Amino acid sequence: MTWETTALVIAVTAPFVTAVLIFALGERRDAARSGVNLAGAALTVAAVVTAAGAAVAGAPDAYPTAGIALLDIGFGLRADLLGVLFAVIAGVLWLITTVYAIGYMSRASDRARFFGFFSVCVGSAIGIALSANLLTFFIFYETLTLATYPLVVHSGTPAALKGGRTYLTYALPAGGALAVGVVWLNLLTGPVEFAAGGSLDPALATTHPGSLVAIFALLMLGLGVKAALFPLHGWLPAAMVAPAPVSALLHAVAVVKAGVFGIARVVLEVYGPLGPELGVTQALAVVAGFTIIFGSVRALAQDDFKKRLAFSTVAQLSYITLGVALASPIAVAGGIAHLAHHAAMKITMFFTAGAVAEEVKAYRVSEFDGLGRRMPLTMAAFSLAAIGIVGVPPVAGFTSKWLLGIGSIDAGSGWVIAVLGISSVLNAAYFFPIIHRAWFRTPKPEWAHGPAAGRPEGDMRMIVPLVITAAIGLAMGVFAGMDLSPASWAQTIAGWEFPW
Amino acid sequence: MSQTDLYTLVGSALFVIGLYALMTRPHLLHKVLALNISSSGVFFVLVGIARRVGGPVPDPLPHAMVLTGIVVTVSSTAFALALAKRIYTETGTAALDAADVDVGESLGG
Amino acid sequence: MAEWIARQLPALVVLVPFTAAPLAYLLGTGFGRQIALISALLSQPLAILLAVTVVREGELRYEVGGWGGPLGIDLVVDGFTAVMVLVTTVVGLFVTVYALGYFGNRERYRFFWPLWLFLWGSLHALFLSGDIFNLYVCLELVSMSAVALVGLTLRREALVAAMRYMLAAILGSLFYLLGVALIYGAFGSVDMQTLREVVRSDTTGQAALALMTVGLVLKTALFPLHFWLPPAHSNAPSPVSAVLSALVVKGSFYILVRLWVDVAEPMAFPGVSTVLGVLGSTAIIWGSIQAFRQQRLKMLVAYSTVAQIGYLFLLFPLVTGGGQAAADAWMGGIFHAVSHALAKSAMFLAAGTVLARFGHDRIDGLGGLSRRAPVTAMAFGLAGVTMMGLPPSGGFVAKWQMIRASIESGEWWWAAVVVTGGLLAAAYVFRVVGPFFGREVDDLDDADLNAGPSPWTMESAALVLAIGALVLGIVGQPLLDLIMVSAPALVAGVTP
Amino acid sequence: MGKVTAKSPIAVRVAALAICAGVGALLARAVLAIPETEPGLAPLVDANLAVSGVKNAVTAVLLNFRGYDTLLEIAVLVLATIGVLSLSVTQTGTWDPIAAQADPVLSALARFLAPVMILVSGYLLWAGEHAPGGAFQAGSVLGAAGVLLALSGYARPIWVSRFALRAAISVGFVVFLATAIGEMLAGGLLLEYPADLAKTLMLVVETWLTVSIGAILISLFIASASPAEELRRRSGGGE
């Protein structure tokens, strides 16, 4: 086994091993657990980065791979460019979130269970990123579904259990649809490996067009739930009962992006040119476009801060889906770049929600008046992220939207420009009032003079991570032109994806 | 009608009679007896089959099977009876369902 | 020595538990425990060796008495046999370890050890037997030891459940024996290998097969003949429940598969396999709905067995057509039997721990279990993943193969049943597991203040089995390969 | 004491009748279709009888050709006994002599019959080699003798200890197993009797089986008996 392959295997297994150790350590050994967790996360990041380095060096046809025999497809891992991009995002943000979560959960109960399942989720997300074929992808995808459940219901309140039920009601039938789709596709074509430019035999478009369309529909049904495509998005706002680190890493990054990442794999690396030929990607683009507008409008009406963020996520995820569906290298680059950009910005916002809720017990937007005085760093980071999502340069969101816009013209889908425009206005309409309230409204009397003298504005284990993620978001935008920035990485990937 | 036919038909009839009693008789003792009748039916069929060899000496294999079957049946009958008796001791009745016990008499014994 | 073991391997697999059983009875309680553990440990290498040998050398045939079929009785080991012996041995080991903690040294339960060893040996004998009359004796051994184990607590409900089980089991055996008699009458042999050549689809042959099928279906508790299973499986002591649901019902299923797919394949009529498939599908739906409606945990798990048995019967319609679909259905059905065995025993053992520690198993009273008994809650939850058939569990691989087979054979409705069944399983599993994460309820007070936490052996036995079922979906390929070793012609795609 | 109804509801009976009619018709058709002459395995048994170690074909099948069936069948018997013991109130199988009404006539009869029965049992055991008979017949007579003794109050001394009971019940199966394993150790297969020793070994096995079967039958009888105090209670407490 080469060094790169070892790194690939470690990247996927380290979080699971971490989880087992956390469960084994039990509830009371907090220090040991935190140590194991941080060490596991750091090891994962190191492994992912190593694998990523190998992927960059080996592209497009010397990626590190590993696997064992299973069914006729095999359980296979591969570090390709698209995969390691997602894996790096998940790994790095996990490390940061762990620090945040140790602070956030310091007074909560059932910490072993929480951190254990959290690690399983991250491991599944990285597994999803590094899956070499559809079977392996599906295995990690469903593991993620299950491992998320205990986190959604973590508080154990009736509301949490209800949110958990809602989540499963969406996620499990979706898994069933995905399973049938995957089996059927494997039968039709033989083992479905992911390959840049699509792995399906082009002849199938003429011999089995009906089956291919039906399979695509089944796959999108399965992946669309996690990607929160309308009308499969309903679980995401309901899942906001989860603790903040869960909302931040899982419901802004790992889980939901597993869905869009899967869509990207299927559209780009399975169907490839067959997608536009069969007309299925066009349909997907329309659904994504509608979801963007729909999510943004719903976000406007939410007073609950986390719910507003959740609906914003619904809309933003569809940017990625839309970019992938547009069948233009530039749009695809925009979509994939947004995968990274949105991750950094939205995690910052959810970190904010958690920090604010813990520190000043504010949960609703209407309670945010003058919060900028009380928690200046936090709200500054939030404002930066919000501006980025709206698409104001130079923060990251601008770059991806820019690429999406150009890509849509390139793909001959001018209507997308209108969607992007309307959505940006709506984004501004639901985020700027928060910024306005935080900085320009009169604060509550006890907030007027900032944090108590000599005390920080909150638990620094929570503040520092959100400042870092905001900075990452900014950096991704400012340095978008540099070689290994997500934007240029995405463009490289998009280049490979379109040999046709 | 050959000897084989006679035995196998009688055996079949016994099997069915036992089956009917098993299904309709609520009393556990009746049920156990019903199964015994059914198993006798099966043994009859086997004995009948053993006669088909043609010669004066019947086929030893079905006979051996019957002997084995009898021991197995005796064992399971003994066990079933012990079970029925224990149920009677514990519940005061020898039926599976309380519905099969005549109303008017106390269940407690 | 090694050569001797290799030669005598099939006999040794049967003899180890059968020798241990009378010794455990003879030497009494204290020794019974140790003998059971020794037998369980000795069986492990033998079962593994058996599987390895089959993979290396193909079908093994051991002529008991040196006569060989059809005069004598052969022990036959192909991939299917080896897999069933392996899963019996593994589940058996952990059930034994669990039972050591569960029954302790209590004199009242001294009969558990010999009865359990007899049951274990009988299962091995059943899986290895190549003779349909010998299988009748094995069936009776399995049933009687199982019934005796159900009644072990001497509680009223358990005794009545045992009686119901006993009557159904004897009747099933008699139907089977009558079929054997007719087979011998018509074809002059009870040796499976000989029968494979001579069996014809004539009046007697069809009637014989019909009778045997009814008897075995009754013993396997396929809907609508499942009436005896839920009370027996839920009222038995939990280690026994685990064995019953995990292994015993699969014994009669095993014979059914042997008969239909292997021996009497020439007379396979599609009508019957469709009926079995439809009954299986009904069992999946009906059993799952009933499971969801139960108030007691062990009843829920027992009805889950009724449902999961249904999947096994989808094998029949799916193999009928032969070809790749048959091979996939074969692998899927047997793999399901294996993963269900691991997961279901884990569930019953976990339920037993709950019952032993908190004195009840009302589902409403299990809120907050993941805090009070995290290992047990985890074991139950992980086993639930297999019930739902989600990856990475073994249940997933089984369902994958079944869905494959149904798409391949063009009978997509079986796939619909498989998926629906998974979702229904999710409903009943999460009905239990959901509240584990909820607020603690007062009902979770230790029943006996001196009881304290359960012995770690009990909790970890359940967890290990559940983890085994879970990772089977990733590391299960060797098992799938083993299942296909010397598979019946219909399944292996070879025309004789 | 609840009395069990004699019959099921009419609907159950009609359904049962329908099922039985169906099964009966199927069976009748099937048995009549059995070929008139089908030698089965009889020729094969005949051909190998000479090397089986016994002269009686049924015994040869039971003990040699299909000895494995018989081994498992003994297991059934031992198993059932353990099962019955696990259900008996005393769970030991020891006889409570107070329960036995010491009837002088019965007692005298037993004293006369028991030795004869034991003798008959021995004969049956020995005869099994060449004529109908064998361990089961012998064991049954032995068991009957034991039951008779038990009923007449003599059984008590037989079961000097629980271990003796357990030993008597399991000795046949254990010896059978030991023989089978011994044959394997000697280089043969399971239950493969060396031709020269076949007769001796089978006789040893049969003898111990007779003892066990007798003991088992007695235990089955005794274990099911109600304990003395329950008998007294039921008969109204009077003695």
Nearest to C341 by CA among C254, C234, C247, C226: C247
Minimal CA separation from B46 to chain D, in Å: 11
Residue ranges for chain D with pLDDT beneath 70: 1-3, 6, 89-102, 153-161, 225-239
**Chunked in runs of 10, what are the mean pLDDT values of chain C (496 residues)?**
90 96 87 93 96 94 90 95 97 96 83 95 97 96 96 91 96 96 92 90 89 96 94 95 96 94 73 91 96 95 96 92 89 96 97 89 88 91 94 92 91 93 94 87 58 76 96 91 90 62
Q: Does residue C454 contact residue C376 with C-beta atoms inside 8 Å?
A: yes
User: Distance, in angstroms, between C16 CA and closest chain D CA?
Assistant: 10
Higher-pLDDT residue of C493, A100? A100
Residues of chain B contacting residue C189, judged by C-beta atoms under 8 Å apart: none
Provide mean pLDDT across the span A372-386: 87
Among the partner residues B38, B49, B80, nearest to C185 by beta-carbon distance: B49
Instruction: Please report, for residues A24, A244, C117, the alpha-carbon distance to residue A101 in angstroms, rounded to integers and kept in the order given.
Output: 19, 8, 51
A214-254 tens-digit pLDDT: 999 999 999 999 999 988 998 888 888 888 888 888 888 88
Residue with tokens 């999406």: A404
Q: For tokens 């798409």, what's the residue?
A: C407
Answer yes or no: is C300 within a domain.
yes
Q: How far is B41 from chain C (nearest CA, A)?
A: 9
What is residue A138's predicted lDDT score, i.e. its pLDDT?
94
Q: Which chains touch B (3 or more CB pairs under 8 A)?
A: C, D
**Cα–Cα–Cα angle for C221, C222, C226, rounded to 5 degrees:** 45
Residues 132-161 of D with CB under 8 A from C: none
Compute the nearest-CA separation of D183 from chain C (Å): 9
**Using 50, 70 and 90 to split pLDDT, how confident is the model at A487?**
confident
pLDDT exceeds cutoff 70 at A1: no
Q: What is the pLDDT of residue A108?
A: 82
Report the mean per-residue pLDDT for chain A: 88
Say whether pLDDT at B35 is over 90: yes
Cα D54 from Cα D47, distance rounded (Å): 13
Cβ within 8 Å, pair C148-D184: no
Q: What is the pLDDT of residue A489?
A: 82
pLDDT in tens, A60-88: 667 888 888 888 788 889 888 889 999 99
Q: Which of A165, A123, A162, A160 is nearest to A144 (CA)?
A: A123
Q: Quick check: A457 pLDDT over 60?
A: yes
Q: Which residue of D has its CA nearest to C175?
A: D23
Interface test with C, best of B17, B19, B61, B97 (most C CBs within 10 A): B61
The model's pLDDT over A115-154, given as tens digits with 9 standing for 90+, comes to: 999 999 999 999 999 999 999 999 999 999 999 999 999 9
Which of the residues C400, C408, C424 would you substitute to probe the A interface, choosing the one with the greatest number of A C-beta atoms within 10 Å? Answer: C400
Taking an 8 Å cut-off on Cβ atoms, the answer to whether B53 and D60 are in contact is no
What pLDDT is attached to residue D239? 34
Which structural domain, as residue segments, surrounds residue C62? 12-267
Q: A47-51, A272-276, A289-293: which range is least confident on average?
A: A272-276
Size of interface A-C (CB pairs under 8 A): 94
CB contact under 8 A, D17 and B20: yes
Domain boundaries defined on chain B: 3-96
Nearest CB partner across the interface for B90, out of C143, C156, C184: C156
Average pLDDT estimate for A317-335? 89
Cβ distance D29 to C115 less than 8 Å, yes or no, reads no
D70 → closest Cβ in B19, B68, B107:
B68
Does the pLDDT at position A408 exceed 90?
no
Give the pLDDT mean for A424-449: 85
pLDDT, tens digit, 9 for 90 and up, residues D151-167: 776 655 444 457 888 89
> Contact, C410 vs C282, CB < 8 A?
no
User: What is the predicted pLDDT for the residue at D98?
Assistant: 44
Q: Is pLDDT above 50 for A305?
A: yes
Q: How far is C215 from chain B (nearest CA, A)?
A: 12
Domain co-membership, C258 together with C337: no
- Per-residue pLDDT, A499: 66
pLDDT band of B108, cuts 50, 70, 90: very low
**Whether B24 and D8 lie within 8 Å, measured CB to CB:** yes
Assess if residue A80 is contained within a domain: no
Instruction: Compute the C-alpha angle C342/C122/C356, nearest 5°.
Output: 50
Segment B74-93 shows an average pLDDT of 90
Instruction: Over range B40-67, report the average pLDDT.
Output: 88
Tell me the DSSP string of C82-134: HHHHHHHHHHHHHHHHHHHHHHTT-GGGTTHHHHHHHHHHHHHHHHHB-BHHH
Instruction: Give the pLDDT score at C288.
Output: 96
- Please check the confidence at residue B103 and state whether its pLDDT lies above 50: no
Instruction: Specify if A431 maps to a domain.
Output: yes
Instruction: Return the pLDDT at C179.
Output: 95
Asked if B14 is an interface residue toward chain C (Cβ–Cβ < 8 A), one would say no
ipTM of the complex: 0.90
Q: Do D72 and C151 touch (CB under 8 A)?
A: no
Q: Which residue ranges make up each domain of chain D?
A: 42-234
How close D63 comes to chain C (CA, Å)?
A: 10
Contact A/B (≥3 CB pairs under 8 Å): no
- Does the residue C431 lie in any domain? yes
**Separation of alpha carbons C217 and D13, rounded Å:** 23
Range of the domain at A494: 279-500
Whether A493 is in a domain gets the answer yes
**Is the Cβ pair C202, D44 closer than 8 Å?**
no
Our answer on whether A and D touch (3+ beta-carbon pairs < 8 Å) is no
What dotted CATH number matches B3-96? 1.10.287.3510
Q: D9 vs A26, B94, B95, D4, D15, CA distance in Å?
A: 59, 18, 15, 13, 10
- pLDDT at position A459 over 60: yes
Size of interface B-C (CB pairs under 8 A): 85
The total number of structural domains in chain C stands at 2
| Contact at CB, C184 and D87, closer than 8 angstroms | no
Determine the distance in angstroms separating the CA of C418 from the nearest CA of chain D, rounded to an integer: 32
Instruction: State whether the Cα torsion D123-D124-D129-D131 is positive or negative.
Output: positive
What is the predicted pLDDT for the residue at D95? 52
| CB-based contact, C6 to chain D, within 8 Å | no
Task: Identify the residue with better confidence: C90 or A354.
Answer: C90
